[in-house]
Chains A and B, each alone.
Chain A
């Protein structure tokens, strides 16, 4: 096995019956095995649950995976979960790709078993293709200046400035008018307690 060899693992999630109830997860998983660079493909009941995540980690180690495709729900739901999972197994989190076969497939094609299965295979195929070209990414760090600018010296600006200053941060409060107070200072009393505004 060369160092740069692509080794993709596919994890098809049944999501209880949410996915497995409307399409053939086993068939999707078997199909995934035929795709280029896929070295393992398994079906899980709940991939996001602890046993499911352990399964991913186990296969990353066993098969020396360097790309992971999770065919389950929307990445908006669990991308972060699986990124953390692969990272814990030693992979760069950006080498994960999700294939959305739930929100975009099983749930919207409840009564078309064959159609949904074909579509799920296609979604997995597309995700594997993308996964093969994924690259490692790093989040860079920048220093944080511990000083704040507050624009506006009305009640909101005053409260912000005081809270920050009390917390120990240096605050620059900029007010356009000659005095702070804003619109609130022009009010006589304020509701619901009928007390003075200033």
Chain B
């Protein structure tokens, strides 16, 4: 900790928040808000005179509220930087008549009630997100009576009570009578591995080992204390973990498989009774304790959405940030030049956090070590002469890579290539063909449809599959030698978001009996949420097909992941059955109505375009930007 404060290569901004990030990999512009701490950081020598005279007493957050602090205080003794901070909300001093005592005694004149927030701008090439996690609040679990029964505490509170630097200087006692507990219970999986309304379904990873550690700490301090641990499973899977578990059992810690259904408090003694079903012996028993520690789980930071928006990140179902690839790019964020370290990605202990931090650094250094970096060649481009400045592309782009389209100013869209990841959603959504996706252009895809359907179209199922999930799922089906009918013909796009409505309609007009659009499940989308646009588009197409008297079932939409080879094979078999039910008359009718509909739309578009060109010539001023 000390080292970060004095390293010549580190600019440390504490009590600061990142407020804005613009730019892209290699070239991020960052605005940092350095909040006013009302104490001059460079001059304060932490003499503590200010604290002595401060009349305000509030609960100390660092000590979990077990002790108090002043309005001007040191966050904790080893704080870096070793500088006082004045809590604006607690302080009376903003009216010097009311107080101002601290400023009077500060010999170095460090205290400035008028200090303002400062905005600092930095340019960086890479970003490491290490925003950590929050701890589960068990108040909502009525059965454990946390906050109702005073002798039920959390594992975080336990840490402060056992710590030599804590409010009791390491003399552990229970809150109600300041007596050392003779019988103490730990309850595992509080807020974790829960499928009820309270808590989270995932395993928090660190609580089993933390409890084992805590049991040994008590045993060390007070060998006579009886310790029981109530658990579902003990997960002691890391290096040295099993040893510690065995050590704790040898020290006499009792491990009971089963979680309490309820905790009752004796109103007189404040002792606690736990009713537990022991799942080894299948018996329900009462257990009495002086004190209970809830081994609370880890949750994503409650302010995760702030960082998510700043860096266009995505989150997995459990709320933690999603990595670029769960196995092969576990520390890379989907946004180029951004990396994860620590619990922001998933709950992990100190060692794993440190390991991941060094891994994130190594990944960042791959970029930092070169003077220039290559940018993906498969990006979209805008043909400005066709652009109507409608801004749909800007709206759908998951990476905010398209800027400049302004209908009022008449300025066309512009693609920032370094930000573009190549999903092609913009090209699919643009109604004026102004946006084109390099290497997956309209013509390159329609020619594939033509080639595959110009002979025996009735025997074929046209499939659009995204590169990362569905196409990979089809690969896995092959690798697993799963057998399915030969009717399927696949067109690969990078993302299902690239599948233009026109591709689907073109396939039907070419005589396709059935078309399948397939992509990643929503949480897996390689392009954050581009496949949400796929869904919207397919829903619109279903409406259109129905309106034109075409059975919407002939257009199928499936989310198939890279791990779902079996599902791919099953889907192919089912869709082939659907294909067999499509009649030639039906297809003929489809071709006819789609052709008519297309010609009508083309005529309308041509008319509209002519009008636009004429109005521009009639009114030359329209192209000049509006004065500011």
| Interface set of A (CB-CB < 8 Å, partner B) | 74-77, 94, 100, 102-105, 107-112, 115-116, 118-119, 122-123, 125-130, 132-135, 137-194, 197-198
Instruction: Tell me the smallest distance from the CB of A161 to a CB of chain B, in Å.
Output: 5
Chain B residue nearest to A115 (CB atoms) is B486
CB distance from A180 to the nearest CB of B (A): 5
Alpha-carbon distance A144/B26, docked complex (angstroms): 4
- Contact of A181 with B30 at beta-carbon distance under 8 Å, contacts A76-B475, A167-B365, A173-B12 already known: no
Stretch in B88-96, B126-134, B195-203 with 4+ CB within 8 Å of A: B126-134
Complex A-B, nearest 3 residue pairs according to Cβ-Cβ distance, in ascending order: A156-B342, A103-B478, A179-B79
Which B1-28 residues sit within 8 Å CB-CB of chain A? 1, 3-5, 7-18, 24-28
- From the candidates A108, A127, A193, name the one contacting B481 in the complex (CB within 8 A): A108
The interface centre, meaning the residue of B418, B481, B490 with most chain A CB atoms within 10 A of its CB, is B490
Contact of A174 with B16 in the complex, beta carbons under 8 Å = yes
Known: A76-B472, A148-B368, A168-B9. A182 touches B439 (CB 8 A): no
Decide: B13 and A191 in contact? CB cutoff 8 A: no
Contact pick for B373, options A142, A182, A197, CB 8 Å? A142
* Contact call A191/B241, Cβ cutoff below 8 A: yes
In contact, B156 and A154 (Cβ under 8 angstroms): no
9-residue interface stretch from B375-383, B499-507, B587-595:
B375-383
Interface check B350, CB cutoff 8 A: yes
- Interface residues in chain B, defined as those with a beta carbon under 8 Å from any beta carbon in chain A: 1, 3-5, 7-18, 24-28, 30, 32, 37, 62, 64, 75-76, 78-81, 83, 85, 122-133, 135, 156, 159-160, 162-166, 209-210, 212-213, 216-217, 238-241, 243-244, 307, 341-344, 349-350, 353-354, 356-358, 360-361, 364-365, 367-368, 370-378, 417-418, 438-439, 441, 443-445, 447-448, 450-452, 460, 467, 471-472, 474-475, 477-479, 481-484, 486, 488-492, 569
Bound form: Cα–Cα A184–B298 in Å: 13
- How long is the Cα–Cα vector from A159 to B25 in the complex, in angstroms? 22
Question: How many angstroms from the CA of A67 to the CA of B56 in the assembled complex?
Answer: 78
| Distance between Cα atoms of A156 and B441 in the complex (Å) | 43
Known: A107-B478, A137-B439, A155-B350. A190 touches B15 (CB 8 A): no
Q: A162-B4, A173-B13, A178-B79 are in contact. Are A152 and B132 (CB under 8 A)?
A: yes
- 27 chain-A/chain-B pairs, Cβ below 8 angstroms: A107-B478, A107-B479, A108-B482, A108-B484, A126-B491, A129-B448, A129-B450, A133-B447, A135-B439, A140-B374, A142-B372, A143-B27, A144-B367, A148-B124, A148-B364, A149-B126, A149-B127, A152-B132, A153-B4, A154-B130, A156-B132, A164-B9, A168-B9, A172-B13, A173-B12, A186-B156, A191-B244
Report Cα–Cα, A154/B123, bound state, in Å: 22
Interchain CA distance A51-B475 in the complex, whole Å: 25
Q: How far is the CA of A116 from the CA of B10 in the complex (A)?
A: 62
Knowing that A76-B471, A133-B443 touch, tell me 6 more A-B residue pairs with CB under 8 angstroms: A102-B478, A151-B130, A162-B3, A162-B10, A181-B76, A188-B162
A180, B438: Cβ atoms closer than 8 Å: no
How far, in Å, is B537 (CB) from chain A's closest CB? 22
Q: Is the CB of B14 within 8 A of A177?
A: yes
Query: Are B439 and A94 interface neighbours, CB within 8 A?
Result: yes
Is there contact, CB below 8 Å, between A142 and B26? yes
Give chain A nearest CB distance to B559 CB in angstroms. Answer: 19
**Main SS of the interface on chain A?**
mixed
Q: Are B16 and A154 in contact (CB under 8 A)?
A: no
A186 touches B490 (CB 8 A): no
Q: In the complex the two chains form, is B125's CB within 8 Å of A150's CB?
A: no
Asked if residues A155 and B342 are in contact (CB atoms below 8 Å), the reply is yes
Shortest CB-to-CB span from B611 to chain A, Å, is 32
Q: A178 near B37 (CB under 8 angstroms)?
A: yes
Q: CB-CB < 8 A to A173: which residues of B?
A: 4, 10-13
Instruction: Give the CA-CA distance A190 to B238 in the complex, in Å.
Output: 14
Whole-angstrom CA separation of A172 from B241 in the bound complex: 35
The contact of A154 among B353, B377, B450, B451, by CB within 8 Å, is: B353
Provide the bound-state CA to CA distance between A160 and B130, in Å. Answer: 9
When the two chains form their complex, are residues B377 and A147 in contact, meaning their CB atoms are under 8 A apart?
A: no
B128 and A75 contact, CB distance less than 8 A: no
A141 touching B9 in the complex, CB below 8 Å, given contacts A122-B452, A134-B444:
no
Chain B CB within 10 Å — which of A115, A118, A185, A192 has the most?
A192
Q: How far is the CB of B385 from chain A (nearest CB, A)?
A: 19
Q: Are A147 and B1 in contact (CB under 8 A)?
A: no
Structural contact, A143 and B372, CB atoms closer than 8 A: yes
Knowing A140-B375, A155-B354, A157-B130, the reply to whether A188 touches B159 (Cβ < 8 A) is yes
Q: Which of B10, B129, B478 contacts A152 (CB 8 A)?
A: B129
Residues from chain A with a CB closer than 8 A to the CB of B443 are 133
Say how far A115's CB is from chain B's closest CB, in angstroms.
Answer: 4
Residues in A neighbouring B209, C-beta threshold 8 A: 191-192
Cβ contacts under 8 Å, B132 to chain A: 152, 154, 156-157, 182-183
A153 CB to nearest B CB, Å:
7
Beta-carbon nearest neighbor of A156 in chain B: B342
Give the residue of A142, A146, A197 whose beta carbon is less than 8 angstroms from that of B418: A142
